[in-house]
Amino acid sequence: MLLKRWLVGNPLKTAQAAHQRLSKRLALAVFSSDALSSVAYATEEILLVLVPASLAFAHFSIPISLMIILLLGILTLSYSQIIFEYPDGGGAYIVSKSNLGEWPGLTAAASLMIDYVLTVAVSVAAGIAAITSAVPALFPYRTVLGVMAIILVLLVNLRGVRESGKVFAVPTYLFIGGLLLMLAAGTYQLLFGQLMPAPAQNMATQTAVESISVFLLLRAFSSGCTALTGVEVISNGVPAFRPPEPKNAAITMITMALVLGTLFLGISTMAYQLGILPKDDETVISQVARAIFGEGPLYYLIQISTMSILVLAANSAFAGFPRLASLLARDGYMPHQMELMGDRLVFSNGILILGVFSCLLIILFNGDTHALIPLYAVGVFLSFTLSQIGMVRRWLNKRGPHWRKKIAINGIGAIATAIATTIIASTKFIHGAWIVIVLIPILILMFQGIHAHYQAVSEQILLDRRGSRPPMPQRNIVIIPISGVNRAIIRAVDYARSRPGEVRAVFVDVDPEATARLEMQWAQWGCGVTLIVLPSPYRSILNSVLDYVEAILEKEPDTWVTVVLPEILPARWWQNILHNQRALLLKASLLFKDRVILTDVPFHLTR
């Protein structure tokens, strides 16, 4: 408990949950870390598909980046419409469920849940890669470092991120500023001759004869699409903006898209100009920064701010996942525990689950970004598609002003994202996307199963409308399992005698001598309570008592059996291991029997 307080902080009052409203500048920092941070790995992932096939293919990274930026533009327009239509926050789950129904809603929810886990794993892996690029000695420890980073983010989130805005602003703007400076310096050096753009182009001409397959291009496009993960985040956070919320959110989203597009295209071009190729132990960004800045402080600034914004991206999933889980729990698709706010006003259970699963991914994939990427983006693009289709459906039903234009925008969004989803799912299928494609229906079935269970429970516990009370057994037999005669046991017997019902003390015979001794003591202390001696051929006290209780329940269908357990409770917690855990086992076994009521009568030791 003390450990928990120290790690997590003191409980917060419900009244402390007041909303902090964000300016556009702070909101950009808070909501765009997920999207912007993906430029840290997107260019590299494109190159990693192209270059192993042929060095000559490196230049295809430029047109592919342009395609992705086109997709970004379409998405930004589409999402602006969602922002105005769902000012309370329009996640894919809500938009899909309210416009398309339960199954599409659950599909979006399942995709999102998987992608939150992947956002944490991919971002942390890429953040650690930024560090190990600068300090290669740490490379062998990337899995451990990744797990430690997740645990840190987890603890911060269990405390509740209250000072969010300012904490986010510094690394986000450092990252944007640092990368822009790097691109500007690089361009200057390329133009005025301090840097040689040679090697990459040389390579290109050298083997230019080879022709590229469409599949390879599409696969490179799929990998690059990870740059777009997180662009929807602003549309979930509309209520956090200052009024007029939708307008401010839309402006912020467009700004974010411009920054993202600039950085992504800039890095892709610069990497190509400098002839930089992916390496196992150094990221492309790190190579670009090293080429432009050398090993100076600016280089380290780039690496550190890259790591920071990636950690913030992971952090944003720790806000999104528990919120989605609580929405699902509210609708009965996830365990009710997900809906409870912990004492720090955060959804602690969701945070813990996300932490566990993302750590698992980091461990399974050895903290390797490239291995995780094929799993990523499938879910994101599936939820994009469902949201856009949902919006088209909404406009069709609702009409309203400019509905045709709105349908056109979301329709183009739907078609573009559907195509992208298909490309990603098919080109990355064998590399890992199949895992996600298998998991989504499993999650949907789980949601449905939970829903059905809660439905069945609420029907079974519903009270009779005409006001008749549930029937109660008429008789009550009280059973006290005893192991001897002592103060704790006599206390329980006296408690039982003071209430209605027939009382029977039950003793299990394992040693005839002990039984004879007990019978004599009972004559003195039993106060007339019947003593029943049970045989125990297998020496199992637990089973003998259970059998006896079951026999009563079977013989007398209209009877409660109240089992009164005398419990000796030691003065110090560790002394519990010195006491027989029989009572605990008996309780665990009896709890699941109908018509059995368990009563603990404690006897507290003082030393």
Q: Using DSSP, state whether 350 is helix, strand or coil.
A: helix
Contacts of 363 (CB under 8 A, 6+ apart): 143, 147
Cα gap 75→412, rounded to integer Å: 9
3 state SS for 202-264: HHHHHCCCCCCCHHHHHHHHHHHHHHHCCCCHHHHCHHHECCCHHHHHHHHHHHHHHHHHHHH
51 burial level (CB within 10 Å; 0-12, 13-18, 19+): middle
Per CB under 8 A, contacts with a second copy among 347-376 are none
Applying CB under 8 A, the span of 28-36, 235-243, 392-400, 599-607 interacting with a second copy comes to: 599-607
Per-residue mark of binding to a second copy, 513-532 (x: CB under 8 A): -----------xx-------
Taking contact as CB under 8 A, which single stretch among the options 144-152, 205-213, 231-239, 485-493 is the one that binds a second copy?
A: 485-493
Interatomic CA distance for residues 386 and 379, integer angstroms = 11
Query: Is 264 in contact with 227 (CB distance < 8 Å)?
Result: yes
Least distance between a second copy and beta carbon 18 (Å): 14
Minimum gap (Å) between residue 93 Cβ and a second copy: 20
Minimum Å distance from CB 486 to a second copy?
4
Using the rule CB under 8 A, is 341 a contact of a second copy?
yes
By beta-carbon proximity to a second copy, the closer residue of 362 and 496 is 496
Closest contact distance (angstroms) between CB of 572 and a second copy is 9
Q: How far is the CB of 474 from a second copy (least distance, A)?
A: 10
Select 258 or 588, whichever has its Cβ closest to a second copy: 588
Q: End-to-end CA distance of the chain, in Å?
A: 23
Quick count: other Cβ atoms within 10 Å of Cβ 525?
13
| Given 337, 426, 448, 559, the residue binding a second copy (CB under 8 A) | 337
Minimum CB distance to a second copy smaller for 11 or for 101: 11
CB of 324 to a second copy, least distance (A): 18
Question: For residues 94 and 431, is the Cβ–Cβ distance under 8 A?
Answer: no
Burial class (CB in 10 A: 0-12, 13-18, 19+), 360: middle
Please list every residue from 488 through 507 that binds a second copy, using CB under 8 A: 488, 490-491, 494-495, 498-500
Q: Which uninterrupted H or E stretch holds 598?
A: strand 596-604
Q: Closest separation between CB of residue 435 and a second copy, Å?
A: 24
Region of 67-75, 248-256, 437-445, 451-459 interacting with a second copy (CB under 8 A): 451-459
Q: What mask, x for binding a second copy by CB under 8 A, covers residues 394 to 413?
A: --------------------
Residues 455-484, one symbol each (x = binds a second copy by CB under 8 A, - = not), give: -xx--xxxx---x-xx-x------------
Q: Is 450 near a second copy (CB under 8 A)? A: yes
Q: What is the DSSP letter of 471?
A: P
Nearest-approach distance from CB 9 to a second copy, in angstroms: 12
Give, to the nearest 10 degrees, the angle between helix 348-364 and helix 102-134.
60
Tell me the one-letter amino acid at 440: I
Closer residue to a second copy (CB): 19 or 469: 469
596 binds a second copy (CB under 8 A): yes
Residues 568-587 that bind a second copy (CB under 8 A): 568-570, 573, 575, 577-581
d(CA 23, CA 232): 18
User: What is the x/- site pattern for a second copy, positions 107-146, by CB under 8 A?
Assistant: ----------------------------------------
Neighbouring CB atoms inside 10 A of 448's CB total 14
Kindly tell me which of 16 and 207 has the beta carbon lying closer to a second copy: 16
| Residues near a second copy (CB under 8 A), total | 72
Interaction of residue 1 with a second copy, rule CB under 8 A: no
| Nearest one of 37, 45, 4, 30 to 424, comparing CA atoms | 45
Does the footprint of a second copy cover residue 453 (CB under 8 A)?
yes
* Calpha distance 421→349 (Å, rounded): 31
- Please tell me the distance from the alpha carbon of residue 350 to that of residue 95, in angstroms, as a whole number: 22
Distances (CA, A) of 459 to 333, 336, 453, 466, 594: 16, 17, 10, 15, 19
Contacting a second copy within 229-288 (CB under 8 A): none
Closer of 211 and 460 to a second copy (Cβ): 460
* Nearest CB to a second copy, comparing residues 408 and 597: 597
What is the closest distance, in whole angstroms, from the C-beta atom of residue 554 to a second copy in the complex?
16
Is residue 12 involved in binding a second copy (CB under 8 A)? yes
Whichever of 288 and 485 has its CB closer to a second copy, that residue is 485
Is there binding between residue 606 and a second copy (CB under 8 A)?
A: yes
Three-state SS for 482? strand
Tally of helices (H runs) and strands (E runs) in the chain: 23, 5
- According to DSSP, the residues that pair with 273 across neighbouring strands are none
Q: Is 599 in the site for a second copy (CB under 8 A)?
A: yes
CB 449 within 8 A of CB 531: no
How near is the Cβ of 338 to a second copy at its closest, in Å?
10
Select 166 or 604, whichever has its Cβ closest to a second copy: 604
Residue 367 beta carbon to a second copy: minimum distance, rounded to whole angstroms:
25
- Burial of residue 435 (CB within 10 Å: 0-12, 13-18, 19+) is middle
556: contact with a second copy by CB under 8 A: no
Residues 316-335 that bind a second copy (CB under 8 A): 335
601 binds a second copy (CB under 8 A): yes
Q: Min. distance of Cβ 527 from a second copy in angstroms? A: 8
Which CB atom, from 201 or from 599, has the smaller least distance to a second copy?
A: 599
181: left (phi over 0), alpha (psi -120 to 50) or beta: alpha
Please say whether the dihedral angle defined by the alpha carbons of residues 385, 389, 395 and 397, taken in this order, is positive or negative.
Answer: negative
Rounded Cα distance between 122 and 154, Å, is 16
CB of 348 to a second copy, least distance (A): 11
Largest pairwise CA distance in the chain: 108
Decide whether 262 or 536 has the Cβ nearer to a second copy.
Answer: 536
